């Protein structure tokens, strides 16, 4: 039996212990099926072919044991933690996992101290795997920097969030960053079949037959989450274990094992921003059906209705504008009503406003106008206010020439009179030939033609 070097921190001496082969869990262990069936080697790993294909940067770095620190980000159940385990196995590195939710600086320092001692004694590298690394604050991330730079540990961080939004610049600059995609339905079916066949770790010791439709349903409904699909399979199978003559896992069993569909949506992750982006773009694109779907997804996931209402208000002003001024009025009303009545009733006025905005004629002329004006203020010469437009309400203003020669438009026919309102003639607002803005354009053209 192999002997393994260990370090006694009290005496700084070496001693040897017998290293026993790890016991492989049985199918009836309380450990979840997804954990038992975790791939152990790169050859067993399923999915993420784009970054793990033979000859790829990451694959070569793993196979040659020249791995720098990694940040793996992507949706739950896509294989981030599994890949970290596989890398540790392939490189024969010591694996030290922590979860950023429960870890602290003291634990990190202890792991790093042990890693340095291990490297001196046995020349074995240490992989420090930090799950949910986005939970670490700046100070905690900074603690790792010196030891990442000198190679005391190889960091592998996993997160469901875009690391460019949540990790510090020093951390990002010292790491290779790889985005994981949700597993495809074919990947999930492969993992489910493997679990059904594996007698050591999976469900193969039981006589189980499965309907193809059942596995296909789990693969589709779990949205690329391998962990959720495997655990659902185990729930469905265990519920029928007392049946005589083996177990047949049917489509109905699969549906019951999943129960309510879980929406992949967290208020801090990419899915949150992607969903609200789809909602806004659907309203802008005049597709009320798509707008209602994305709104429903946000409601179902527990989104704050005020957040949705604010997006509707902004879209009404930016994308509908004066093509239908009523859109902003209705959006503001929906915002006020939703705050007054709360959920679940708030969904009704918000849906009404979203549909109205989606169906309204569109013009971003007002938005483009203010953007042009802001650009001129930022990049050009700041113009002075003409004397006749300056405030003349205070004492002695007339003596300073303020407001002199100002013409009050209501004193003239049509409530309009030509006078200088800006030292340099510029056109920022260019109304469109659509909706109510068409009437605005006709009036403006008439007024501008007189200048």
Q: What is the 3-state secondary structure (H, E, C) of the chain?
A: CCEEEEEECCCCEEEEEECCCCCCCCCCCCCCHHHHCCCCCCCCCCCCHHHHCCCCHHHHHHHCCCCCEEEEECCCCCCHHHHHHHHHHHHCCEEEEEECCCCCHHHHHHHHHHHHHHHHHHCCCEEEEEECHHHCCHHHHHHHHHHHHCCCCEEEEEECCCHHHHCCHHHHHCEEEEECCCCCHHHHHHHHHHHHHCCCCCCCCCCEEECHHHHHHHHHHCCCCHHHHHHHHHHHHHCCCCCCCCEEECHHHHHHHHCCCCCCCCCCCHHHHHHHHHHHHHHHCCCHHHHHHHHHHHHHCCCCHHHHHHHHHHHHHHHHHHHCCHHHHHHHHHHHHHHHHCCCCCHHHHHHHHHHHHHCCCCCHHHHHHHHHHHHHHHCCCCCCCHHHCCCCCCCCHHHCCCCCCCCHHHCHHHCCCCCCCCCCCCCCCCCCCCCHHHHHHHHHHHHHCC
Name which of 67, 116, 74, 65 is nearest 92 in CA terms: 65
Output the pLDDT for position 356. 96
Beta strand 3-8 with 13-18 is antiparallel
Output the pLDDT for position 264. 57
Output the pLDDT for position 383. 83
Output the pLDDT for position 1. 40
402, 412 contact by CB (below 8 A): no
* Residue numbers in the chain where pLDDT is lower than 70: 1-30, 242-245, 259-270, 395-399, 401, 403, 451
Output the pLDDT for position 403. 67
Output the pLDDT for position 248. 86
Output the pLDDT for position 268. 55
Q: Is the pTM of this model over 0.85?
A: no
Q: Which domains does the chain have, with CATH numbers?
A: 48-179 (3.40.50.300), 185-258 (1.10.8.60), 270-359 (1.20.272.10), 375-449 (1.10.3710.10)
375, 338 contact by CB (below 8 A): no
Output the pLDDT for position 194. 93
Output the pLDDT for position 265. 58
């Amino acid at each position: 039996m192999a002997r393994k070097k260990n370090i006694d921190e009290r005496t700084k001496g070496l001693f040897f212990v017998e290293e026993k082969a790890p016991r492989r869990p049985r199918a009836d262990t309380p450990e979840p099926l997804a954990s038992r069936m975790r791939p152990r080697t790169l050859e067993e790993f399923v999915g993420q072919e784009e970054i793990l294909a033979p000859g790829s940067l990451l694959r070569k770095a793993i196979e040659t044991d020249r791995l720098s620190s990694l940040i793996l980000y992507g949706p739950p159940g896509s294989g981030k933690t599994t890949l970290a385990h596989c890398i540790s196995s392939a490189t024969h590195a010591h694996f030290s996992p922590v979860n950023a939710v429960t870890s602290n600086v003291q634990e990190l320092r202890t792991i790093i101290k042990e890693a340095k001692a291990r490297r001196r004694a046995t020349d074995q590298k240490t992989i420090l795997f930090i799950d949910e690394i986005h939970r670490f604050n700046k100070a905690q991330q900074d603690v790792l920097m010196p030891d990442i730079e000198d190679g005391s540990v190889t960091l592998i961080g996993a997160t469901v969030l875009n690391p460019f939004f949540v990790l510090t610049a020093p951390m990002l600059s010292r790491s290779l960053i790889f985005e994981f995609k949700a597993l495809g339905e074919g990947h999930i079916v492969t993992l489910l079949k493997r679990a059904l066949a594996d007698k050591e770790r999976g469900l193969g010791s039981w006589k189980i037959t499965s309907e193809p439709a059942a596995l296909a349903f789990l693969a589709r409904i779990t949205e690329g989450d391998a962990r959720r699909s495997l655990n659902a399979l185990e729930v469905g199978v265990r519920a029928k274990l007392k049946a005589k003559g083996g177990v047949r896992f049917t489509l109905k069993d699969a549906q019951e094992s999943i129960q309510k569909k879980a929406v992949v949506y967290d208020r801090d992750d990419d899915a949150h921003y992607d969903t609200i982006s789809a909602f806004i773009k659907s309203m802008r694109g005049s597709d009320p059906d798509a707008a209602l779907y994305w709104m429903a997804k946000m409601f179902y996931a527990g989104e704050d209705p005020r957040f949705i209402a604010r997006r509707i208000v902004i879209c009404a002003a930016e994308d509908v504008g004066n093509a239908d001024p009523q859109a902003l009025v209705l959006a503001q009303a929906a915002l006020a009503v939703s705050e007054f009545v709360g959920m679940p009733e708030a969904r009704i006025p918000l849906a009404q406003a979203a549909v109205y905005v989606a169906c309204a004629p569109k013009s971003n002329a007002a938005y483009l106008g203010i953007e042009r004006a802001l650009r001129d203020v930022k990049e050009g010469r700041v113009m002075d206010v003409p004397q006749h437009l300056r405030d003349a309400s205070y004492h002695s203003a007339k003596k300073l020439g303020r407001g002199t020669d100002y013409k009050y438009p209501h004193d003239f026919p049509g409530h309009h009179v030509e006078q200088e309102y800006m030292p340099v003639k510029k056109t920022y607002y260019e109304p469109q030939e659509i909706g109510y803005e068409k009437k605005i354009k006709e009036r403006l053209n008439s007024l501008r033609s007189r200048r």
